[in-house]
Amino acid sequence: MNPQWRLVLITDRVYDLVRDDVFLRISGVGGLNRLFLKLEGLNAGGSIKLKTARSIVDGAELSGVDLDRVRIIESTSGNLGVALSVICAAKGYRLTCVVDPNSNTSAVAVMRALGSEVVVISERDENGGFLGSRISYIRERLEREPDLFWVNQYANPNNALAHESTTAPAVLEEFGRVDHLFVGVGTGGTLMGVCDYFRAHSPKTRIVAVDTVGSVNFGSEPQRRLIPGLGTSRRPELLSPDAPDAVVLVPEDETVRECRWLARTSGLLAGGSTGTVLAAIRSQASGIDPGDTVVAISPDLGERYLDTVYNDDWVVENGLDRALGAARPLEEGQRDVLV
């Protein structure tokens, strides 16, 4: 790795402002010496989902859909809605984002600021989540409104293709050899794209899927989940549960603990998905050779989680205060002082 680089990037299209070569070495996780986070939040959409959204929209255009004559609709917990909003604003397309009460409030505000219609679905589905209810709402509107076009990130092959063609090659090109690759799972697009690429180009790489306790992606019993990003209450059509070499489920208090640990030891304010993936690595570290190259996908940064993961009151109110044992609330002397 060569840290001496100079970026000069001029483009007419905001959605092309994507960096695929930014990695941060992390120490202090189970004695691992070569642990790297691939930082995906340094783009105009603020997350890895900008690549997903770009691939999905490009695919629709190439298939012959006239996106100028329809309204795009999509279910989202936050980041994809922002990414689609960025692209649709730049291209002049109309967009409706279907979210729920767990969706990131700042992400929803960004969607609206970029001109998207936002619909909040508050009815839970049969597994206690909101994804099934969001999708049911979309299906009902599709029956009534012929000018709607659902991009359907959960079943769209262009979701996985985005990461097979960009995310995965960038990791392998940077390190040459990757012993362990940890990937968080929401829709499954990143995981499936990475698996497809590495199985063909680096089959010895051990791919570990990271999910949240309470998610049904890998056959676990559904439970209440609060932090958006990873996990679902309905397994996406894209996801093949047998694709990764291993699956690690992480409870949300560990997500909070790792996010706060990372912020206070490295200075990186990362999103909830990153904390979940770090918790998975820490739980597996004793079985990894300290000299192995371990790469983890960090999907987004943490500003959108200031009211939740990084808010002591929210953590306590939602029963995740066990996380504060390792990352204690601010002492009185650390709090803001008004003069």
pLDDT in tens, 272-287: 999 999 999 999 999 9
Residue 7 confidence (pLDDT): 65
Tell me: pLDDT of 94 over 60: yes
Q: Which of 8-12, 37-41, 87-91, 231-235 has the lowest mean pLDDT?
A: 8-12
pLDDT tens profile 100-139: 998 989 999 999 999 999 999 999 988 888 889 999 999 9
Tell me: pLDDT of 339 over 70: no
Taken as a whole, the chain contains a residue count of 339
What's the CATH architecture for 49-150? Answer: 3-Layer(aba) Sandwich (3.40)
Residue 4 confidence (pLDDT): 60
Question: What is the residue-averaged pLDDT of the chain?
Answer: 92
pLDDT tens profile 101-110: 989 899 999 9
Provide the residue type at 330 as one letter. L
Q: Which of 227-231, 251-255, 268-272 has the lowest mean pLDDT?
A: 227-231
Alpha-carbon span 180 to 182, nearest angstrom: 7
CA proximity to 161, closest of 193, 201, 194, 200: 193
Please indicate whether the domains covering 14-44+165-323 and 49-150 agree at the CATH topology level.
yes
Alpha-carbon span 260 to 231, nearest angstrom: 20
Q: Name 317's Cβ contacts closer than 8 Å, sequence gap at least 6.
A: none
Segments in 130-209 forming alpha helices (H): 131-144, 157-162, 168-175, 189-201
Alpha-carbon span 182 to 175, nearest angstrom: 15
Alpha-carbon span 60 to 54, nearest angstrom: 10
Rounded CA Rg of the chain: 19
Q: Where are the domains of the chain?
A: 14-44+165-323, 49-150
Provide the residue type at 165 as one letter. S
CA proximity to 153, closest of 68, 223, 240, 59: 59
Q: pTM of this prediction?
A: 0.91
Average pLDDT over residues 66-76: 96
Average pLDDT over residues 182-191: 96
Tell me: pLDDT of 333 over 80: no
Alpha-carbon span 41 to 114, nearest angstrom: 18
Per-residue HEC secondary structure of 229-296 comes to CCCCCCCCCCCCCCCCCEEEEECHHHHHHHHHHHHHHHCCCECHHHHHHHHHHHHHHHHCCCCCEEEE
Environment class of 266 (CB within 10 Å of its CB; exposed 0-12, middle 13-18, buried 19+): middle
Are residues 273 and 184 in contact, defined by beta-carbon separation less than 8 angstroms? yes
Q: How far apart are the first and last CA of the chain?
A: 46
pLDDT tens profile 9-19: 788 899 988 98
| Inter-CA distances, 13 with 22, 39, 93, 94, 239, Å | 21, 21, 14, 17, 31
pLDDT tens profile 143-179: 999 999 999 999 999 999 999 999 999 999 999 999 9
- CATH fold label, 14-44+165-323: Rossmann fold (3.40.50)
Average pLDDT over residues 188-204: 98
Q: Which residue has the tokens 């190439």?
A: 62
Residue 81 confidence (pLDDT): 96
Q: Which residue has the tokens 């409104």?
A: 145
59 falls in which pLDDT band (50, 70, 90)? very high
Residue 2 confidence (pLDDT): 54
